[in-house]
Amino acid sequence: MSISKKVKRVMEEGSWIRKMFEEGVKLKEEFGENNVFDLSLGNPVIEPPEEFRDELKRIANSDELGTHRYMPNAGYSDTRIAIASQLKSETGLNFTENNIIMTCGAGGALNVVMKSLLDPGDEVVIFAPYFVEYIFYADNHGGMCRVVPPDPNFLPDFDVFEKIITPRTRIVLINTPNNPTGVVYSEKVLARLAEIIHAKENEFGIQISLVSDEPYRKILFDGLDYPQVFRYHKNSVVATSHSKDLGLPGERIGFIAVNPSYFCVEELLNGLVFCNRTLGFVNAPALMQRIVANLQTITINVRQYESKRDFMYSNLVDIGYEIVRPQGAFYMFPKAPINDDVRFVKNLGKHRVLVVPGSGFGLPGYFRIAYCTDDETLRRSLDGFREARASFS
């Protein structure tokens, strides 16, 4: 029996990130792993901080009974209290453990949120360039995405955003710092987004949730402070993980945080807990919940990523690439020297440099670099970038 026609079609269309991964496997077999410069995957090279290892050892050596048993579907109480306490100190809002639900990463969190909020045919507004999985996540739960284009600095085109909201809009989904650009939405941007949302809620008599996907929230450069979405829209929800700020992508540990002022907050929280269970996530990993409870003020060394940003940005600009300087995360999104980003990326592949075309993020004409790899790979990739650009001069 074949898989569904729908899934088969989506797989054939494929993810550009997956395609580049497969291309990388071929190149590494042909030229050797050290001679292929893979900047296509956002798989952090920086290891977790020492505090993580200390907590892991402490819990592994503990004789406490029940450490690995099931827990309430929202997660361990002490972990949720720790997260709520940290959010309360950052935002000044009255977060409690009841506003927090532990999840299997940010991807699990977003699916739980969409399952809880969307009816078939409802709409999710997203902003290009976007993480392509958003479209699949919405589709998982009967929703569809409507895409707002960016301005030249990869900030929302507010005129289009205002027009794209309809009576079927249920979620406005933002990602800041952004994957793939590294751009951070400022307080001014968040305030304008919220202003438009409020106006449309009043116009259509609906409730719109502002959902913020924040796995890169603590990876900020140049002394920036993170603008909290909760301050701008009461119907706001954060979906996040510790994959990046603690260097734990393989551990799939994240959480949902619901604004204490959310409309019908208790009903939403009950719905999120129910959907967390019935989607099959059930509980976030017990061991990771216990570890991150004591690491809410800890991050990897962000300055290492900032140094990599500075190195790649300055060198690529010197070569002649046009780039909006990233403010966070560990990506940059240069403009391709030709309009056909796919063709350019294939040319880069001939020089054994792997990146992802902007078409994979809903914005052709650009390409994504993931600079979360070792410095030697970054340094040795520069010749390929130089030669590929020269091919189209």
Q: What is the per-residue pLDDT across 17-53, written as a single tens digit (0 to 9) for each?
A: 777 777 777 888 888 878 889 999 888 899 999 999 9
Q: Is 123 left (phi over 0), alpha (psi -120 to 50) or beta?
A: beta
Shared-domain flag, residues 219 and 109: yes
Q: Rounded to whole angstroms, how far apart are CA atoms 341 and 363?
A: 9
Is residue 122 pLDDT above 80, yes or no? yes
Does residue 369 have a pLDDT over 70?
A: yes
56, part of any domain: no
Q: Edge-to-edge strand order for the sheet containing 356-357?
A: 331-332, 367-370, 356-357
Q: Say whether both 37 and 125 belong to one domain.
A: no
Residue 33 shares a structural domain with residue 173: no
Cα angle 101, 177, 375 (rounded to 5 degrees) comes to 115
Non-local (6+) Cβ contacts of 123 within 8 A are: 143, 144, 145, 146, 166, 168, 169, 170, 171
| pLDDT for residue 35 | 86
What is the rounded CA–CA span in Å between residue 133 and residue 114?
13
Domain boundary among the residues 264, 292, 320 is at: 292
**Is there a single domain that holds both residue 279 and residue 316?**
no
d(CA 275, CA 48): 30
Domain stops at, among 238, 263, 292: 292
Q: Closest Cα partner for 123 from 215, 211, 186?
A: 211
Q: Dig out the tokens for 237 from the structure.
A: 């929800």
C-alpha–C-alpha distance, residues 62 and 375, integer Å: 38
Domain of residue 371, CATH code: 3.90.1150.10
Q: Are residues 347 and 244 in the same domain?
A: no
Using the 3D structure, point to which of 246, 265, 292 is the last residue of a domain: 292
Query: How crowded is residue 376: how many other Cβ atoms within 10 Å of its Cβ?
Result: 10
In this predicted structure, the answer to whether residue 303 has a pLDDT above a threshold of 70 is yes
In a domain, 122, yes or no: yes
Q: Determine, yes or no, domain membership for 186.
A: yes
- pLDDT value, residue 111: 98
Q: Where are the alpha helices (DSSP H) in 216-336?
A: 265-278, 286-292, 302-319
The single residue listed with the structure tokens 């406490």 is 64
> What is the pLDDT at residue 1?
59
CATH number at residue 183: 3.40.640.10
H or E element at residue 64 = none
Q: Are 366 and 342 in contact (CB under 8 A)?
A: no
Residue from 170, 149, 145 nearest 158 by CA: 149
| Range scoring the smallest mean pLDDT among 40-44, 82-86, 279-283, 339-343 | 40-44
Whether 322 maps to a domain, the answer reads: yes
The helix (H) or strand (E) run that includes residue 239 is strand 236-241
Domain co-membership, 110 together with 210: yes
Domain count across the chain: 2
pLDDT recorded at residue 14: 63
Give domain status of residue 326, yes or no: yes
Shared domain for 95 and 211, answered yes or no, is: yes
- d(Cα 157, Cα 50) in Å, to the nearest integer? 42
Residue 298 has pLDDT above 70, yes or no: yes
Output the average pLDDT for the chain. Answer: 95
* 59 within some domain: no
Same domain, 288 and 312: no
Q: Which of 16, 41, 48, 17 is nearest to 251 (CA)?
A: 48
User: What is the residue range of 216's domain?
Assistant: 66-292
Q: Would the pLDDT of 305 be above 80? A: yes
Share of the chain above pLDDT 70, in %: 99
Same domain, 38 and 78: no
Q: What is the pLDDT of residue 9?
A: 78
Which single residue is written with the structure tokens 């997660």? 75
Identify whether the C-beta of residue 112 lies closer than 8 Å to the C-beta of residue 284.
Answer: no
Residues 18 and 127 in one domain: no
* Residue 42: per-residue pLDDT: 83
Q: Which tens digit of pLDDT belongs to each residue from 232-260?
A: 999 999 999 999 999 999 999 999 999 99
- Asked if residue 308 is part of any domain, the answer here is yes
User: Could you tell me if 239 and 320 lie in one domain?
Assistant: no
Domain-embedded: residue 335: yes
DSSP 360: G
Q: Which residue has the higher pLDDT, 1 or 355?
A: 355
pLDDT in tens, 133-153: 999 999 999 999 999 999 999
Residue 204 CB neighbours (<10 A)? 14
| Same domain? 319 vs 270 | no
